[in-house]
Structure 1
Amino acid sequence: MILFQYFLMCMIFGTTFLAIKVGIDAGASPFFSAGIRFFLAGVILFIIMAWKGRATVSILLRKEMFLTGMGLTFGVFASLYWGEQYVSSGIAAVLSATAPLIILLLQSGISRQMLSTLSWAGCFIGLAGVILLLLPGVTVTFSMLWIAGCTVILFGQIFFAAGTVYSRRVAQQFQEVSPITLNAAQMMYGGAMLLVLSLITEDVHMASMLAPNALLSLFYLIIVGSMMGHSIFYWLVAKTNPVFPATWLYVSPLIALCLGAVLYHEPISFLSLLGGIAIVIGIVLINLNSLQQLWSKKRATTPADNKV
């Protein structure tokens, strides 16, 4: 179940960078569209969970939901949406792939434990794979706005890493609460913060927001990207560890490349193929201990299942 949810999450998130870019290119205001996306997704999920009897308003009054929303939603997506005005979706995916490495650094700093050589090697191999993957198709015109966009997106990954590590604590603290409810609550807070930021900094043009591509991008990101993808991510953080779910950031450029080849007949170069192989190797190395534990649990339950 964990591996299936992981692959589904990777498939979903592999399309979101392009969906964000489509909306922004259609004229949607970055902070406003991000705020609407996450606030509405959070509200809808929370209402569904409350209807099922698995969410209460009291959870919204906890400071943990505010802090998680600041990290996982507000900080990272304010940076990403703003940066994608000046940076291609492919470059944004490459820069976002630094998050697992930052998570490892945070975890090692908090726990004061040395990380295994395999984990470090996996992070660097995976990051190198992402760069190799996108290198053939990336053309960059250097400008101050391009540099600013890259810097802001990188800065946002610090929020993402901190939010991911902290959300693991929150999931353990609120074990009686569904991870989907926790995700809905943090998205509501993060979305509300993005809307406040938009109110202060943006002049929103509703005509642009109602353009077909902008609406299509928004609906897709609300339903598929946020309600489905982020709920699976939060569930995986609660069930495994903060690093394992975050490795989707290594897989998303590979998925984007495959979609481009199948849907738009884009060529796949040798460097891209080499990058894809490096990504898979990196993910395996980072999560080798987790994969061994999952395999051991599966083997331990097999004999009992055979006796039934």
Structure 2
Amino acid sequence: MKCNNKVLIILSFFSIYFIWGSTYLLNKIAVTELPPFMLVSFRFILAGILIFIISKFLKFKLSITLKQFLNASIAGFLFLAFGNGVIVWALKYVDSGFAALEISAQPLIVILLMRFIEGKRIQSMSVIGVVLGIIGIYLLISQKQLISQEGMLTGMVMIFVCMISWAYGSLFVSKADLPPNFFVNTGYQMISGGVMLLFASLLFKEQWIPITDWSNKVQFSMIALIIGGIVAFTSFNYLLRTVSPEKVATSTYVNPVIALLLGWYFLNEQITFQSIIAAIVLLTGVYFINTKKKLVVYSRFKK
């Protein structure tokens, strides 16, 4: 691997680790004033338009085949329209840090889908990770003081369904015929996902709020979400075609920690002792899932 490729991979991982870690806070701030599907639709459509403008300026080829467009649209649905749009909806009821912590179990979903869909054998260390992941999820969702809040349980269930969508999308994108330029690919996914969310917003009869009526903090959050989304999602698409889906899913090591701290600091969100234990168990499970080491069982009878 060339040195510049290594640097690009490192920067891409940094992007999906830290930028995505902050999006939970930014979405939580924005969704307190804006309808969820309107919020995400506006964000992705505008980000997609900016990507095409930049691509045109950089003289990237925007023309793609019909198959590539359909595959990009499918990815746009799995990642953005459903996978992201519903999570933002759930943030109306679920704390940003709690949502990020639940999503940290995504590598568990990825590895299980790879087993059931692709028939990939689960390594011994990954089995430990799966068990720890299940225990961590149980510790997280069994907190009565949290799940008793209005809409909390429904939000948690929908976030879990979104995790399945993202996990399947990761497997789909790693093999699908998509636009060869990662930046252009991101643009098509964002435009298609944003248009789908626009129809969802109209279907649910959301009231669109003019930008002039947004508060300063919501305007700032939207700008950060658009710019950060372009950088992070392009990095995400690049990594999916460069490294394995399991490695890309390791962003869940860092995302929940950043989200928990930001939610606690800026929104006074509660961090319970059980949530901390759940985080430790979940992230330990993610480590076992992604480690390349093999479990060696030593026997006293072994010579």
Superposed counterparts of 1:138-157, under 5 Å: 139-140=145-146, 142-143=148-149, 145-157=151-163
- Taking the aligned partners of 1:276 and 1:12, their CA distance within structure 2 comes to 20
Is 2:102–2:137's contact at 8 Å kept on the other side of the alignment?
A: no
Name 1:302's counterpart in structure 2.
none
How many pairs were matched up? Answer: 285
Name 2:300's counterpart in structure 1.
none
Name 2:114's counterpart in structure 1.
107
Query: What is the percent sequence identity of the aligned residues?
Result: 27
- Taking the aligned partners of 2:78 and 2:285, their CA distance within structure 1 comes to 25
- Taking the aligned partners of 1:274 and 1:94, their CA distance within structure 2 comes to 11
Given the alignment of the two structures, is residue 89 of structure 1 paired with residue 104 of structure 2, yes or no?
no
- Taking the aligned partners of 2:148 and 2:277, their CA distance within structure 1 comes to 26
Name 1:305's counterpart in structure 2.
none
- Taking the aligned partners of 2:102 and 2:11, their CA distance within structure 1 comes to 26
One-letter code aligned to 1:114: R
TM-score (norm 1): 0.79
Given the alignment of the two structures, is residue 52 of structure 1 paired with residue 58 of structure 2, yes or no?
yes
- Taking the aligned partners of 2:54 and 2:116, their CA distance within structure 1 comes to 38
Superposed counterparts of 1:124-273, under 5 Å: 124-125=131-132, 139-140=145-146, 142-143=148-149, 145-170=151-176, 173-174=177-178, 177-201=180-204, 202-206=206-210, 210-224=214-228, 226-259=229-262
Is 2:17–2:254's contact at 8 Å kept on the other side of the alignment?
A: yes
With 10-19 and 204-213 compared, the bigger mean Cα shift is at 204-213
Distance of aligned partners of 1:184 and 1:123 in 2 relative to their CA distance in 1, 3 Å threshold:
farther
- Taking the aligned partners of 2:268 and 2:218, their CA distance within structure 1 comes to 25
CA RMSD of aligned residues (A): 3.3
Distance of aligned partners of 1:11 and 1:33 in 2 relative to their CA distance in 1, 3 Å threshold:
same
Distance of aligned partners of 1:59 and 1:211 in 2 relative to their CA distance in 1, 3 Å threshold:
farther
The C-alpha deviation readout for 1:78-102, integer Å capped at 9, x for no partner, is 2111111111112211332232222
- Equivalent residue for 2:39, pick from 33, 36, 61: 33
Given the alignment of the two structures, is residue 62 of structure 1 paired with residue 55 of structure 2, yes or no?
no
Distance of aligned partners of 1:106 and 1:251 in 2 relative to their CA distance in 1, 3 Å threshold:
same
The C-alpha deviation readout for 1:212-231, integer Å capped at 9, x for no partner, is 2221111111111x111111
Is 2:76–2:189's contact at 8 Å kept on the other side of the alignment?
A: yes
SS in 2 for 1:203: coil
Which of the pair is proportionally richer in helix? 1
SS in 2 for 1:240: coil
Is 2:93–2:150's contact at 8 Å kept on the other side of the alignment?
A: no
Is 1:134–1:272's contact at 8 Å kept on the other side of the alignment?
A: no
- Taking the aligned partners of 2:30 and 2:270, their CA distance within structure 1 comes to 25
**Deviation (angstroms), 1:141:** 5.3
The C-alpha deviation readout for 1:1-55, integer Å capped at 9, x for no partner, is 3344313321111111111111112x11100010111111122112212322223
SS in 1 for 2:208: coil
Distance of aligned partners of 1:134 and 1:220 in 2 relative to their CA distance in 1, 3 Å threshold:
farther
Distance of aligned partners of 1:31 and 1:285 in 2 relative to their CA distance in 1, 3 Å threshold:
same
Name 2:301's counterpart in structure 1.
none
Name 1:78's counterpart in structure 2.
85
**Deviation (angstroms), 1:76:** 1.0
- Taking the aligned partners of 2:140 and 2:150, their CA distance within structure 1 comes to 25
Question: Gaps (5+ residues) in structure 1?
Answer: 293-308
Distance of aligned partners of 1:262 and 1:205 in 2 relative to their CA distance in 1, 3 Å threshold:
closer
One-letter code aligned to 1:230: F
One-letter code aligned to 1:81: V
The C-alpha deviation readout for 1:118-161, integer Å capped at 9, x for no partner, is 1232344357568879999x951515622222222211222111
SS in 2 for 1:44: helix
Question: Gaps (5+ residues) in structure 2?
Answer: 1-6, 295-303
